[in-house]
């Protein structure tokens, strides 16, 4: 079963290209989501084995933190795949275009699965690069000039970043000759034997390389363009899963420094990057014009929050793991709902969108509630995670940092909420439209499911979810 979740998406990607049929495209997407979702839930509930087969020879492994990120990816992929059915219909895509879209998405998911399950640093790097190549064609899927520019910008910046990460891996291999391999288990066990100078230099390169893929400031320039130009279900995958997979890769490298006694060095670099990301996102979101770019800057903000969380000890680590899931689900609802808005108004400009609640109430309420979910209002789990992060500052002896952390989040939330509520409640001059248009059920179902999941986590975190979050947080302790 372990190998099937790799083989099936790739095999189905080939199938939809060889057999371009509308039904085949839809079944391929839905069947792949079912396989990934069933596997991840089965392993989580201990109904399926988590061990890789012997022929993979230790290159793949599913630990607690990998399982958390796999579950998040499975849920967001399911939501994006279901919404893609609406995207096919509303954009009247030809069968061949549907096949191209489905194949690219399936290969993109397979690459992200590889990142999550890799137990070898060089192999993880290969899959991270594969995510760039497979997702670039999706960013340019709508064949507009702005989309082509965004795709090339994405490929160029991320390729430079990944090249720097590769330099870091080479430097790490130079300093870890006593260890002899790049398997993560061996690097953790032999971390004390790695030359500290080479280890620190390697981490600096890998932080910049993977940080580029994560989209943290100041190496975030590709992210607003790519997320705003991609089809909405693709944007949901980019924000809700791609950023997470690169973040997981960085966490695995950070653990090497912790085991080597160089945790303070890694944490200081990560903490500075996290605060810089918060600052940049807050500044841009105060005067944003494009609502999909606004969601992209919100992703930068939340990845900055995650960076800060993993430097704050046990309480911060637990909060970061919870925030990872909460951000992914809330941001996916926002990007999918932005697809509804784009379909209704044919514009990404905030100034062109007025009176959503009047024209399409379901989309309007999804837009508002999803914003509350990402902003951190109770009873959503982002409120809990942000509260625990502020608490972690004081427990970690750096309570003064909670002040700029809180203020930058307030500014970012204010900028986003101002735009969202203006779009939802304000009416354009002379607009007398009172009849609302109801979209297909697949335009609402994924968002309602994700919001229900968020509410269940916020009201009372189930015990098995709590246990998984704790086990994932112990990875860096």
DSSP string across 339-395: HHHHHHHS--BGGG---HHHH-HHHHHHHHHHHHHHHT-TTSHHHHHHHHHHHHHHH
Let me know the angle formed at the C-alpha of 430 by 429 and 435, rounded to the nearest 5 degrees. Answer: 115
Is the pLDDT at 52 greater than 70? The verdict is no
Distance between CA 411 and CA 88 in Å, rounded?
A: 37
C-beta separation of 120 from 183 below 8 A: yes
| Residue 35, helix vs strand vs coil | helix
Nearest to 98 by CA among 175, 21, 168, 39: 21
Which residues have C-beta within 8 Å of that of residue 132, sequence separation ≥ 6? 154, 155, 158, 159, 162, 213
Distance between CA 124 and CA 126 in Å, rounded?
A: 5
Beta bridge partners, 118, equal 60
Q: Is residue 437 very low, low, confident or very high in pLDDT (cuts 50, 70, 90)?
A: low
pLDDT on residue 147: 92
Q: Is residue 180 very low, low, confident or very high in pLDDT (cuts 50, 70, 90)?
A: confident
Beta bridge partners, 290, equal 349
pLDDT on residue 426: 84
C-beta separation of 352 from 261 below 8 A: no
- Asked if omega into 40 is within 30° of 0 (cis), the reply is no
- Angle (deg, nearest 10), helices 313-345 and 445-459: 160
- Can you give the pTM of this predicted structure? 0.95
| Residue 118, helix vs strand vs coil | strand
And the tokens for 213? 């893929």
pLDDT on residue 438: 73
| C-alpha dihedral sign at 24, 30, 34, 35 | positive
- Angle (deg, nearest 10), helices 22-44 and 95-117: 20
pLDDT on residue 458: 92
- As a whole number of Å, the CA-based R_g of the chain is 21
Region 170-199 average pLDDT: 93
| C-alpha dihedral sign at 362, 363, 369, 373 | positive
DSSP conformational letter for 241: I
Distance between CA 339 and CA 362 in Å, rounded?
A: 13
pLDDT on residue 436: 58
C-beta separation of 457 from 305 below 8 A: no
pLDDT (tens digit, 9 = 90+) per residue, 7-20? 899 999 999 999 99
Nearest to 239 by CA among 370, 97, 55, 389: 370
pLDDT on residue 433: 47
pLDDT (tens digit, 9 = 90+) per residue, 280-325? 999 999 989 999 999 999 999 999 999 999 999 999 999 999 999 9
Is the pLDDT at 78 greater than 60? The verdict is yes
């Amino acid at each position: 079963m372990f190998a099937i979740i790799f083989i099936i998406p790739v095999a189905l990607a080939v199938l939809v290209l060889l057999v371009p049929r509308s039904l085949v495209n839809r079944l391929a997407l839905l069947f792949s989501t079912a396989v990934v979702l069933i596997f991840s839930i089965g392993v989580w509930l201990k109904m399926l084995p988590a061990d890789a087969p012997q022929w993979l020879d230790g290159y793949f492994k599913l630990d607690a933190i990998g399982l958390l990120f796999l579950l998040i990816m499975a849920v967001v992929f399911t939501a994006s795949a279901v919404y893609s059915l609406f995207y096919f219909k509303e954009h009247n895509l030809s069968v061949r275009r549907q096949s191209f879209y489905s194949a690219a998405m399936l290969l993109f998911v397979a690459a992200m699965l590889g990142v999550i399950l890799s137990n070898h640093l060089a192999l993880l790097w290969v899959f991270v690069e594969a995510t760039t190549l497979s997702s670039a064609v999706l960013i340019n899927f709508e064949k507009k000039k702005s989309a082509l520019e965004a795709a090339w910008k994405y490929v160029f910046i991320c390729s430079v970043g990944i090249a720097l990460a590769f330099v870091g891996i080479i430097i790490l291999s130079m300093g870890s000759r006593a260890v002899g391999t790049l398997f993560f288990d061996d690097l953790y066990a032999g971390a004390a034997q790695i030359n500290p100078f080479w280890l620190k230099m390697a981490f600096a390169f890998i932080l910049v390389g993977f940080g580029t893929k994560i989209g943290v400031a100041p190496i975030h320039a590709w992210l607003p363009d790519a997320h705003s130009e991609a089809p909405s279900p693709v944007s949901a995958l980019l924000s809700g899963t791609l950023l997470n997979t690169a973040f997981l890769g960085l966490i695995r490298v950070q653990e090497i420094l912790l085991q080597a006694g160089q945790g303070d060095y890694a944490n200081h670099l990560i903490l500075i990057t996290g605060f810089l990301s918060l600052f940049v996102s807050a500044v841009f979101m105060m005067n944003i014009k494009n609502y999909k770019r606004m969601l992209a800057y919100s992703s930068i903000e939340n990845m900055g929050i995650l960076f800060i969380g993993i430097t704050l000890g046990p309480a911060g680590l637990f909060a970061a793991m919870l925030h990872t899931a909460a951000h992914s689900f809330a941001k996916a609802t926002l990007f999918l709902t932005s697809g509804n808005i784009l379909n209704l108004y044919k514009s990404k400009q905030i100034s062109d969108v007025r009176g959503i609640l009047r024209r399409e109430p379901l989309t309007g309420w999804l837009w508002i509630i999803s914003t509350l979910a990402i902003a951190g209002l109770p009873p959503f789990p982002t409120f809990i995670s942000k509260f625990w992060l502020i608490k972690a500052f004081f427990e970690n002896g750096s309570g003064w940092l909670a002040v700029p952390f809180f203020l930058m989040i307030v500014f970012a939330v204010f900028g986003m909420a101002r735009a969202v509520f203006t779009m939802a409640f304000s009416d354009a001059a002379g607009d007398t439209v009172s009849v609302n248009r109801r979209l297909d059920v697949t335009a609402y179902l994924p968002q309602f499911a994700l919001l229900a999941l968020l509410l269940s986590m916020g009201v009372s975190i189930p015990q098995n979810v709590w246990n998984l979050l704790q086990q994932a947080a112990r990875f860096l302790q």
